[in-house]
Amino acid sequence: MMVFIIKKNIKGEIYYYVNHSVRMGGSVKTVSHYLGKGPFTQSEIEFLVKEKSQMLLLEAEFLKIFSKKLEYEEHILPTSFINIIERLKEINRIMAPFNKSYFDKFEENLRLRYVHGSMAIEGNTLSLRDAQLILEEDTPAGNTLREMYEILNYKDIFKFLSTYNGDITLKFILKIHEMMMKNIDDENAGVLRNIDISISGSDYDPTPFPVLEDELNNLIQWYKEKKLTMFPVELACHFHQKFVEIHPFIDGNGRVSRELLNFILIRNNYPRLVIPFERRGVYLRCIDIGNSGQLTPFIIFISGLLIEDSFKPVDIFFNKLKEKIKEEKYSSDISKELDNTMSDYKEILEIIKGMEGRIENLNLNELRKGKWK
């Protein structure tokens, strides 16, 4: 963003404006804001510009969001549906610095609910409060050491990920599994299985053990190629499904697959995704349907969770954001686009909620009504 000071002489009076140019794709848009009636010294001008700098940056970000066109070559969700998810993602990102304490707390809560939900899906009986005592207060809880370590090990994983700048590799996957299974199954932690297995309650046969490493490397190569062209939410869903089908470990496959799904989302500036225990049945049924090659229900399910839960701060702070925009005299186009975005958000939320309990029949036609074609 480039900033220029403009002086206008109107009937002998000097009026100061700050103009900023925003590059949006192949064009540049210039927006002007009034600073005040001069004359001003250089230090006063610098102070006024600094005072407006946060607002100028925010407006530049909004302009970029609302002018952005879909860039993904591969997706099955309707383009209009993807556009609103992308807008919510960007508005969520922009709002965070202005509500730092709330967003920090919300992210902490997402992490806690994610860990508790992920382990509850696997049969862990600890309560949300027990998980909080273990993760945040270093207080032992639970009936068994295994259940406690299943929760506690996430502390090491989160610490590792906070400084990890690489991407998904075989070494990375093995490291996540090693930390996940620490003090639970040390013998098999971070080690690919050396036997063939079956999945309880499923007719699907996982990949034979002699070709596990080859299949994982193929998946990683597929991911490296597709991450350049595929809508990230769908990329994360595909990776999760393929990983579960390979089932490379004796135990811990579900936990690692959900961690990798979130890794892909977070790397693409999406908030963390929580799959709550109450949705366990829908989640597992989506995976079963995915085993037959039909990923649409799973993609709709995951997109719905993002919209319904992970983007909740956007809804909460919308009115506050609107007041700020009005106060700073942003362009009416930005205010109108925000209204449209929130209206679309609520409409999509109703569509997703209307699908609850009908996972077998989830299909794109329900998302292609009217403007969601």
Q: Tell me: the pLDDT tens digits for 80-103?
A: 889 889 989 988 888 887 788 889
Residue with tokens 């806690």, as numbered in its chain: 112
Residue with tokens 């989640």: 283
State the pLDDT confidence band at 347, using cuts at 50, 70 and 90: confident
Confidence band, pLDDT 50/70/90 cuts, at residue 372? low
* 226-282 pLDDT, tens digit each: 999 999 999 999 999 999 999 999 999 999 999 999 999 999 999 999 999 999 988
Mean pLDDT of the region 117-137: 93
Confidence of residue 61 (pLDDT cuts 50, 70, 90): confident
Residue 69 C-beta-side C-alpha neighbours within 13 Å: 4
Q: Is residue 247 flagged as an active site residue? A: yes
Q: Residue 329: its pLDDT value, please?
A: 62
Each residue of 280-320: pLDDT tens digit? 988 999 999 999 899 998 999 999 899 988 888 888 877 77
Task: Return the pLDDT at 159.
Answer: 96
Asked if the model's pLDDT at residue 362 lies above 70, the reply is no
Does pLDDT of 1 surpass 60? no
Give CATH for domain 79-372: 1.10.3290.10
Quick one: pLDDT at residue 349?
83
User: Residues 177-182: what's their mean pLDDT?
Assistant: 98
Percentage of the chain modeled with pLDDT above 70: 91
Give me the amino acid identity at 342.
M
Where is pLDDT greater, at 351 or 168?
A: 168
Q: What is the pLDDT of residue 370?
A: 60
The whole-number pLDDT of residue 97 equals: 79
| Percentage above 90 pLDDT, the chain | 49
Hey, where are the domains in the chain?
A: 2-67, 79-372
Give the chain as a 3 state SS string. Answer: CEEEEEEEEECCEEEEEEEEEEEECCEEEEEEEEEEECCCCHHHHHHHHHHHHHHHHHHHHHHHHHHCCCCCCECCCCHHHHHHHHHHHHHHHHHHHHHHHHHHHHHHHHHHHHHHHHHHHCCCCCCHHHHHHHHHHCCCCCCCHHHHHHHHHHHHHHHHHHCCCCCCCHHHHHHHHHHHCCCCCCCCCCCCCCCCCCCCCCCCCCCCHHHHHHHHHHHHHHHHHHCCCECHHHHHHHHHHHHHHHCCCCCCHHHHHHHHHHHHHHHCCCCCCCCCHHHHHHHHHHHHHHHCCCCHHHHHHHHHHHHHHHCHHHHHCHHHHHHHHHHCCCCHHHHHHHHHHHHHHHHHHHHHHHCCCCHHHCCHHHHCCHHHC
Average pLDDT on 324-351 reads 77
Range of lowest pLDDT (32-41, 129-138, 353-362)? 353-362
Query: Distance between CA atoms of 329 and 59, rounded to whole angstroms?
Result: 10
pLDDT, residue 132, reads 94
Determine the pLDDT at residue 8.
Answer: 87
Rounded to an integer, the average pLDDT of 155-173 is 97
What is the pLDDT at residue 68? 78
Q: In which band, very low, low, confident or very high, does the pLDDT at 361 lie, cut at 50, 70 and 90?
A: low
pLDDT band at 180 (very low <50, low <70, confident <90, very high): very high
Q: Residue 314: what pLDDT? A: 84
pLDDT of 120 above 90: yes
Q: Are 322 and 336 in contact (CB under 8 A)?
A: no
Q: Which amino acid belongs to residue 320?
A: K
First and final CA of the chain: distance in angstroms? 35
pLDDT value, residue 93: 86
173 and 260 Cβ atoms separated by less than 8 Å: yes
Sign of the CA dihedral running 211, 212, 213, 214: positive
pLDDT of residue 107: 92
Q: Over the chain, what is the mean pLDDT? A: 87
Q: Return the amino acid letter for 332.
A: S
- The residue-averaged pLDDT of 38-61 equals 79
Tokens, residue 188: 């098999």
Average pLDDT over residues 182-199: 94
More confident: 54 or 100:
100
Asked if the model's pLDDT at residue 71 lies above 60, the reply is yes
